[in-house]
Amino acid sequence: MLKLKNERSSIIAEKHFDGVRFYINQVLEYYINAFEILIGNKSPSDAVFILYNNSYLDANFINTLGGKLCFMKRSEKKITKLKIIEIYSKPNIYINNLFIVHKAGFKLFFEELKTNLKLIITGSPKELLLFQEDIKTKFPFVKENNGLFKEPLRRLLLQSVFNYNKFSNKQGLPKSSIRSDYWERYDLAKELNVNTCAYCNRVYTFTVISESGIGVISPTIDHFFDKAKNPLFALSFYNLIPSCTNCNSILKGCKELSLEDYVHPYLGGFGGHAKFNYIPLDVDSLIGESVNLKVFIDLDELSPINHQIKNNIDLFQLDIIYTQHGDQVRELIKKKIMSNNRYIEILRHETYKGLSLTLEESYRLAFGNYYSESEFSKRPLSKMIKDLVERLKMI
């Protein structure tokens, strides 16, 4: 598990907020106006002007937004502009009962989201959880008995307001009324510049954008707090974790994580709380002549996050998966034996004598990876290599 937070994190979070806020504000404004009409503060006869002509969103998409409030047949995806006056003149026929009963409350609910949008997008994981609990307390009608958002509100928030699917496709979210500039997953991934999976540090997750500006490859983005259960956080910066497909889709999937039980990459990585180790399983592996060894992660029993780290290891199957990298461990053992623990010293003072190599430069030449924890995200297996080099007393 890598630590993602660095001196640029808050800067990137602000860029992300600038990228998504125009779109989200337009959608929130649509729903605030829709409930103004339902309450009776604005006339249904003005619905076309209020909901369409006053918006920078295109008419087809506005039809889709309106459909999220209505009773919809499975075959229907949107309402029509021509029918909008009839719908708001006869809401009991068309609008979902949840929104009718609590129409005044929902207007305030969406205004609350708009007022706190920056917190929702850039707040820390702990701030997000506190805000979500606070808003569910203020507006109890938005949640089920189990605390999850009610349908169809959950779907409305996820698919319309905090629209991760629109953000993650190659068009993205419009950043202004001009709509010539968009913000999408590739832009965020490029800014983050995390080249390996934050959860396993085993797989490259480069972001490549073509000369024409089209995204080619990027990491998958995991939601630490599952977006289906926490739709408010679907576009929250500190809930978007660059990861590999194995960790995101196969191992974690939709599992609900908590800060009490798992390590959050923006709150800290494994660092010195857990280090890689190995056990040779025969004589040949002891001297670097075999890959018959077991790689595992040693936990600091006194660490305050011991419980969270163990759960991360189990969830992402790190001990089992890292054992597959026995060939890299074998190479380290052979280098130790062949150089009599002098591998870096030989490089610095004999092979490249006179070049005045720093320890970091020598380390990278010797082991093909980065020495500093702040650079572990640049290459796969960086933490494992560093931990085992220290374990073997090669630095």
Q: Mean pLDDT throughout 168-196?
A: 91
The neighbouring-strand residues paired with 294 are: 279
What are the sequence ranges of the domains in the chain? 9-167, 173-252, 271-391
Element holding 222 (H helix, E strand): strand 220-223
Is residue 20 within 8 A of residue 173, CB to CB? The reply is: yes
Element holding 30 (H helix, E strand): helix 9-39
pTM for this entry: 0.93
Is residue 279 within 8 A of residue 293, CB to CB? The reply is: yes
Taking phi over 0 as left and psi of -120 to 50 as alpha, with beta for the rest, 389 belongs to: alpha
According to the per-residue pLDDT averaged within each range, which of 68-72, 78-82, 244-248 is highest? 244-248
| Model confidence at 43: pLDDT above 80 | yes
Q: What is the structure's pLDDT at 58?
A: 86
In this structure, how many other beta carbons lie within 10 angstroms of the beta carbon of residue 172?
21
| Model confidence at 74: pLDDT above 60 | no
Q: What is the structure's pLDDT at 247?
A: 96
Return mean pLDDT, the chain.
93
The neighbouring-strand residues paired with 220 are: 243
Residue 177 binned pLDDT confidence (cut-offs 50, 70, 90): confident
- For the chain, the straight-line distance linking the first and the last C-alpha, in angstroms and rounded, comes to 23
Q: Mean pLDDT throughout 370-376?
A: 94
CA 330 to chain centre: 34
In this structure, how many other beta carbons lie within 10 angstroms of the beta carbon of residue 342?
14
Tell me which residue has tokens 């280090």: 275
- Alpha carbon distance 312, 248 (integer Å): 13
Residue 77 binned pLDDT confidence (cut-offs 50, 70, 90): low
Phi/psi of residue 297, each to 5°?
-110, 120
Q: What is the structure's pLDDT at 78?
A: 66
Q: Mean pLDDT throughout 152-164?
A: 95
Contacts of 347 by beta carbon, 8 Å cutoff, 6+ apart: 357, 362, 365, 366
Phi/psi of residue 153, each to 5°?
-60, -45
Least confident span in 29-38, 165-174, 224-233: 165-174
- Alpha carbon distance 139, 366 (integer Å): 59
pLDDT in tens, 102-147: 999 999 999 999 999 999 999 999 999 999 999 999 999 999 999 9
Q: What is the structure's pLDDT at 354?
A: 80
The CA-based angle 298-300-302, given to 5 degrees, is: 160
The neighbouring-strand residues paired with 209 are: 215
Q: What is the structure's pLDDT at 72?
A: 58
pLDDT in tens, 196-220: 999 999 999 999 988 888 889 999 9
Q: What is the structure's pLDDT at 211?
A: 86
Q: Mean pLDDT throughout 147-175?
A: 93
